[in-house]
Amino acid sequence: MPDHTWLSRSARTPRLMVLAGHEQASRHGGRDVAAFDFDDTLIDGDSLLPFLSLAVGRARVGRALAALGPKIAAALLGVGERDAAKAALLGRLLRGFPANQLAEIGQSYAHMLADRLRPDMVERVEWHRVQGHRLVIVSASLTLYLVPLAEIRHFDKVLATALEVGADGLLTGRLLGANVRGREKVLRLSEWLAGDSCRIWAYGNRGGDRFLLSTADQGYLIRRGRVMAWTPAMAGRKGTAEALARGAAGVSPHGPERPERPV
């Protein structure tokens, strides 16, 4: 029986902290961290809906999406709560589902996803690994399949959305803690670092990643197969950190001065 204790792991209350810059890292010697979003960053497309279809069937997922249509449409248009829409969908589909059974599905799905990683992002992951950086997945997708995927691909840590399991071993239909998007990504990463001073590299693709990209020492936006150095202007506002521009599309993760590295 696969271990699914991570399904119900309680999240400690995250504390907000400014991610340490590389100047501090050079003084304290902390190992650098490379933090990666998952959907549309490490893989192309979405991972959640295919997983739900695998677990409960496409027809049931389709009916749930139709029933929650207005709420989901509002969230996609930016006038509704994305987190609430996601929680409602997961609750409708997974409430009462045996945790052990879903963990087994997550294990199988992780092997499928491991083969879907984008080759260019695999190059970046491996470059960071060679440098001795800690590799972290920070994602709103589910720990159910990201934790086993991290084991397959040898990531050091997964900070992702978890599901609550009742005393009877069944999913309650609720999230365990917050959905890991937006500011929650920064909070989870800060909590995990626990005051460790190190240089942060971050990769993401959408508005929900802008806080993480803005607070990183080096942030990279993944968009339509291109890799662009993150700048506060990309968030549609004056950013929460200094401009991180180090080039245009296709820059290497360590800056333009060594273009022979993966792009």
Report helix, strand or coil for 193: helix
Q: Is the pLDDT of residue 158 over 90?
A: yes
Beta strands at 200-204 and 33-36: parallel, antiparallel or unpaired: parallel
Residue pLDDT, tens place only, 12-57: 322 223 333 333 333 334 689 999 999 999 999 999 999 999 999 9
Q: How far apart are CA 211 and CA 237, in angstroms?
A: 12
Q: How far apart are CA 7 and CA 118, in angstroms?
A: 27
Domain assignments of the chain as residue spans, ordered by start: 5-235
Q: Is the pLDDT of residue 80 over 80?
A: no
Please, are residues 208 and 86 in contact by the beta-carbon 8 Å criterion? no
Averaged pLDDT score across all residues of the chain: 79
Q: What is the mean pLDDT of residues 55-78?
A: 80
Token pair of 108 as six digits: 């199988």
Residue pLDDT, tens place only, 206-222: 778 999 999 999 999 99
Q: Is the pLDDT of residue 86 over 70?
A: yes
pTM, two decimal places = 0.78
**Per-residue pLDDT at 51:** 97
- Classify burial at 115, counting beta carbons within 10 Å of its beta carbon; exposed 0-12, middle 13-18, buried 19 or more: exposed
**Going by CATH, does the domain composed of 5-235 fall within 3.30.360.10?**
no
Q: What is the mean pLDDT of residues 118-126?
A: 95
